[in-house]
Structure 1
C-alpha cells in the first residue's frame, strides 16, 4: 500500500477547555416542535457515541415554539437529571434577535446569556458564542460583553459563529480572553472555509472549528440537491456513493468523515432528530478514506480539478 492509499487518520476524541470531547457534536436547533419526552432519547444517543459537546442558541425555536424554546427544552432535562450538566460541554449563542435582526451590544449580549442560563437551568455555560456579526456594534463593545461574561463566571470561554477571518481577528484585538472556538458552515458542499482563511486561522490560534450543517441541510444524505444548486451536485453524490460502497457504509458517514479528516480538528454538529441516526453517525470514524478519496470529493464539489 502506497502512502496515498493509506487511510487518513480520524481521531474520535479531542481536548477542549480541559475536557475530553467527542469529535462529533449534537445540535439542538431542531428540538422545538418535538415532544419534550423525546429530548432525553436524543441527548442520550449523542452521549452514547461520545458526542458530549451539546450546541444550542437563544434564537432556536423562533418562528415555531418560540424564542428560547430549544434552550428551555434542554434546560428541563437538565433540571430533571442534575448529573447531565456534568456530562456535557454546553454551548449556547446570542446576538440574533428577530426582527432586528442582530444586536451584539454589550448590554444585549450579557442579558442574552443571563436569559439563556435561566432557560438552561444552570449557572454557567462552557462556551458562549456570538451567533452572527452585528454590523452596528463595534468589536470593542462585543469584547466588553464577552470579557464580562467570563469574568463573572457565566461563561467559561467565548467564541464566534459565522465570523470571517478578519472579523475574528478584529474582535480578538479588543478581547483579553482568547477566542477558543469558531462555528462556520462547513460541508463537502459548502467548502468556502477551506479557502477563506477561517480554518487556517483556527489552527494557528488553537480554536475549535464547529461545523454547522455538515450534511448541507441533509442534502448529502438524501442526494437531493439544495435549491438552485449547480449541475455538479450529482457528481459529488456519485463520489460519496462510491466511497460509501467501498466501506459498506452510508453517505452520512462519508460526508462526516471527510470533515473529521481535516487537520483543523473540525467537530461536525449533528442535527438529526432520530436517535438511531445519531448513533449511526459514529460510523464516520470507521470510514477508510485515503488522500485521493478526500480530494475526489473536493474536486467533485468544486466542479474542477485541483490546480
Structure 2
C-alpha cells in the first residue's frame, strides 16, 4: 500500500475489494507512506481508515500489517516513547483498535534492542498489536531484538527480487527458515527495473522470465513473483500495483513452476556470473 493515495474513498475501497477478489488477504502499509506521494505523513493509513469507516467488515477480512520507526528528518526513532506514540497514531489513522502485524520499518542504530522490545511488548500486551516483525533488518539485528522479546519475531520484510538477491546470501532467508519467520518481499519487480530493463543484466533476467511466462501464458510480472515464491523460505511478494485490472492478475503467479536449472539460470543471470 505504498502508493495507496488520494481522497476518493470509493476508488480506494474498490482497490481493497479487488485484492480480496484476487484472494489477497495481507495488506501491508506504514505510517511513512504518504510523503513519497506528495501527501502528508500517515496519508496511506488515513485513507485505509476512511475505507474501514465506510465498510467496517473489510477490516476483519484482512491481515493488517503496518510499520513505524521512521520519523521525518531524524530519520529513525525506535525509542520507547516514540514507538508508543507511533503505534497509537497509526491506530487512530486506521480507525481500528489493533494491528495484526507491527514491524519496525528500519533499525534505529541509537536504540538498544531491549528498549525497542519493551515498547513493542507493551503494545502487544495492551492489545494494540498482535504480532511483531522487522523490515530492512539484518539477521544480527533481528537476533538481538529477539533476545529481549517474550514472543517470537514472526516476519522479515527485506527487498528481494530477481535483481536484488542479497537475502539469499546474507543469512536472512536462513534465519527465517530456522525460526519459522514469514518473508515479505518488497519491490519484487526490482523497483520497475524488470518491467523496463535499462542494462544488460536486467535484460538478461527479463528474457529468462519472459521465457517462463510464455510457457504458462502469464506476463513477466507473474513469472517474477513465481520465481520469488519458489524459494523454500516461501517469500510473499508485496505487490504494489494500484490498478484493479493488474490486481486481478496477481494469482497468475501460482501458474509457473520452476525447475532447479531454470531457477538457477535466473539467479546466475542476475549475478552476472556462474555459481561455482
Q: Structure 2 length as normaliser, TM-score? A: 0.97
Question: Quick one: distance in 2 between partners of 1:204 and 1:34?
Answer: 43
Match of 2:85 in 1: 111
1:295 CA drift (Å): 1.0
Question: Quick one: distance in 2 between partners of 1:83 and 1:33?
Answer: 22
The structure carrying a bigger helix percent of its residues is 2
Question: Quick one: distance in 1 between partners of 2:244 and 2:159?
Answer: 23
Q: 1:280 aligns with which of 234, 239, 249?
A: 249
Q: 1:204 aligns with which of 157, 175, 178?
A: 178
Question: Quick one: distance in 1 between partners of 2:167 and 2:17?
Answer: 31
Runs of 4+ in 1 over 4 A off after TM superposition: none
Change (3 A) 1:34 1:300: farther
SS at structure 2 position matched to 1:305? coil
Where do 5+ consecutive residues of structure 2 fail to align?
A: none
RMSD (Å), alpha carbons: 1.2
SS at structure 2 position matched to 1:232? helix
1:134 CA drift (Å): 0.5
Question: Quick one: distance in 2 between partners of 1:291 and 1:34?
Answer: 46
Match of 1:54 in 2: 27
Assess if the C-alpha contact under 8 Å between 2:136 and 2:159 holds in 1. Answer: yes
Provide, for residues 96-145 of structure 1, a one-character-per-residue CA deviation record: whole Å limited to 9, x for no partner.
Answer: 01110110001101110100000001001001000000111111111111
Question: Quick one: distance in 1 between partners of 2:9 and 2:138?
Answer: 36
Match of 1:188 in 2: 162
Query: Within 5 A, what are the aligned runs for 1:130-169?
Result: 130-169=104-143
Structure with more contact order per residue of length (Cα contacts < 8 Å, sep ≥ 6): 1
1:255 CA drift (Å): 0.2
1:191 CA drift (Å): 0.3
Verify: 1:296 aligned to 2:265, yes or no. Answer: yes
Match of 1:88 in 2: 62
Question: Quick one: distance in 2 between partners of 1:202 and 1:216?
Answer: 21
1:36 CA drift (Å): 3.0
Question: Quick one: distance in 2 between partners of 1:91 and 1:101?
Answer: 21
Match of 1:178 in 2: 152
